[in-house]
Amino acid sequence: MERTRGKRLRRPKGCALWTPVTSDLPVHEFFCSLAAPLFGVVQEGTVVPSWPPEAPLLTLYPRIIPFMYSAHFPIVLASTSPRRRELLGLTGLAFEIVPSPAEEPAPDAGEAPAFYAARMARLKAAAVAATRADAVVIGADSIVAVGEVILGKPADAADAQRMLGLLSGRTHQVVTGCALFAPGREPEIFTVTTDVTMTHLSESVIAAYVATGEPMDKAGAYAIQGQAAPFVSGIRGSYTNVVGLPLAELRNALEGLGAIGVSAT
């Protein structure tokens, strides 16, 4: 891999950004450190460099090309999920990331998947909104459900294999609860459900996938945007909901709260 070792950067004519240093970082990481001020994402007061594998170059767009939406309030994402950060970044809105300190209790006995997802989203958003009364705070929680059986993140590799075996060859639901806390408004809580159909997965395929480590921090033990993409034979509903944030429904909710609007051209 090409590296920046020993290369001294010079400021191009007309460029306000200049870092006259050398670096041992790979070129793409070094560029990321230089381009960070262009990013529209802030984490606890600090610009977050967002680069593959966590997020594509699209995350740079909010400050490079014009977008159609602008925010009327500060927007805070109460989540550290790189997938939600990436999805919200596609709107072109500048936003902050403030991790929610809320605990995530297990579902109550007999609690419906949609009620549980909504309850978790509200808990996450409320914990951050308590300290950010000036902002629109977005909380989200995604779960996978087979009927009324809720699948969260696997506890270990064996649990991940169990979940994938349960999903193999059948249709399940991905439910994302969203909670929006806006200044002077009642909280907006809603859920979005997408049907996802998986092909049959052999035990060897399941074991190989679990061995990659990808399932371990994912609800239902798979990532539709990752190596599990070939497992999915069809979806009915929002794709971004399966990834972790239903953008169409979120946009509608933000507009309904008066939190965003179409930018003047």
| Token pair belonging to 58 | 């699209």
The sign of the dihedral angle between the CA atoms of 142, 147, 150, 151 is negative
Residue 184, Ramachandran bin (φ over 0: left; ψ between -120 and 50: alpha; else beta): left
Positions annotated as catalytic residues are: 141
Query: Cα torsion for 81, 84, 88, 94, to the nearest 10°?
Result: -10
d(CA 117, CA 104): 10
Tell me the residue type at 150.
I
Give per-residue burial for 87-114: e unless 16+ CB within 10 Å, then b.
Answer: bbbbbbbbbbbbebebeeeebeeeeebb
Q: Where are the alpha helices (DSSP H) in 80-191?
A: 82-89, 113-129, 157-167
SS3 call for 262: strand
